[in-house]
Amino acid sequence: MSTASEHAGEAALSICEALLLALNDHGLLPEHEIVGVLRDAAATHEMAVGAERDMDNHRAVAELINAIILGGNSVRRS
């Protein structure tokens, strides 16, 4: 069963992806900059410190962001 928090996370991810696509489509941010933003976000979670429970969460978030980079979901690649 999904929680409200999971729904909020999915909504935030969809909104961010749409914003990144719009920035690229309108020529406001090139693909390499968008990938850079995503890499920075992943690195933030990869370098996070805290309780082991929190670290598992940060690792999962970093893995998801890195999968988005590899999949090209947030950039319309030609």
Question: Residue 76: inside a domain, yes or no?
Answer: no
For residue 27, CA distances in Å to 23, 63, 72, 74 come to 6, 28, 17, 14
Q: Can you tell me the mean pLDDT for 6-30?
A: 93
Q: Can you tell me the mean pLDDT for 54-60?
A: 92
Question: Residue 78: inside a domain, yes or no?
Answer: no
Q: Residue 29 gets which letter from DSSP?
A: S
Q: Can you tell me the mean pLDDT for 40-49?
A: 94
Structure tokens at 42: 């992943």
Q: How many domains does the chain have?
A: 1
Q: What is the pLDDT of residue 1?
A: 55
In percent, the amount of the chain with pLDDT more than 90 equals 72
Buried b (16+ CB within 10 A) or exposed e, 38-75: beebbeebeeeeeeeeeeeebeebbeebbebbeeeebb
Q: What is the pLDDT of residue 32?
A: 93
Q: What residue numbers bound the domain in which 35 lies?
A: 4-71
